[in-house]
Amino acid sequence: MSLIERAIVASRKTAEHHDPSLANKPAPKIAILTCMDPRLNQLLEWLDIKPAEADVIRNVGTAATEDVVRSLMFSIHVLGVKEVMLVGHTGCGMEMFSEEEFENHLHKQCGVWAVTPAKFHFYSDVNRATQKQVLKLRSHPWIPSKVVVRGFVFDLSTGELREVTSKD
């Protein structure tokens, strides 16, 4: 059975015990931008943040892209989020290629060159990459300066969360 088929069956069972208050308006206190890497799926638990407290935005490489800003506009200006936490991590796939190498890889896989996405956000230093994403958000004109934006790197081998940006 495929995982999707299994999920459909499971959801029928869990719906029987569903809490209808989940349909109430969300009230997140923090937005967390992190990587889509499955090894980070328990991040909220490790940070002792309850699921209801966080808008979690994920993409490969924790990149503060235009679409991440789009999501943050909703967190900040509709739901009242005052803190944004970026969590990059060690051993990310974004360290595996350069932009050019990955385009070549895709060309080999698909047989064509494509023009979009224009950038994949590869990097060689996760600390620097995370600092850069924080600066991108802090300098965005739609993100008020009173909103705290801080950057961290999660070390997958030690479980340590290391801050890589100054607090302001």
Residues near Zn ion (CB under 5 A) are: 35, 37, 92
The residue (of 147 and 153) whose beta carbon lies closer to Zn ion is 153
Supply angle C-alpha 142, 148, 153, rounded to 5: 110
DSSP letter string, 114-161: ---SS-----S-HHHHHHHHHHHHHT-TTS-TTSEEEEEEE-TTT--E
The residue (of 92 and 137) whose beta carbon lies closer to Zn ion is 92
Min CB(61)–Zn ion separation in Å: 6
The DSSP code for 166 is: -
The residue (of 65 and 79) whose beta carbon lies closer to Zn ion is 65
Min CB(87)–Zn ion separation in Å: 10
Mapped onto helix, strand or coil, the DSSP state of residue 8 is helix
The residue (of 76 and 92) whose beta carbon lies closer to Zn ion is 92
CA distance 162 to 131: 12
What tokens were used for 45? 């638990």
Min CB(142)–Zn ion separation in Å: 26
Q: Which of 85, 163, 83, 167 is nearest to 127 (CA)?
A: 163
Min CB(50)–Zn ion separation in Å: 24
The residue (of 79 and 120) whose beta carbon lies closer to Zn ion is 120
Min CB(132)–Zn ion separation in Å: 15
CA distance 91 to 99: 17
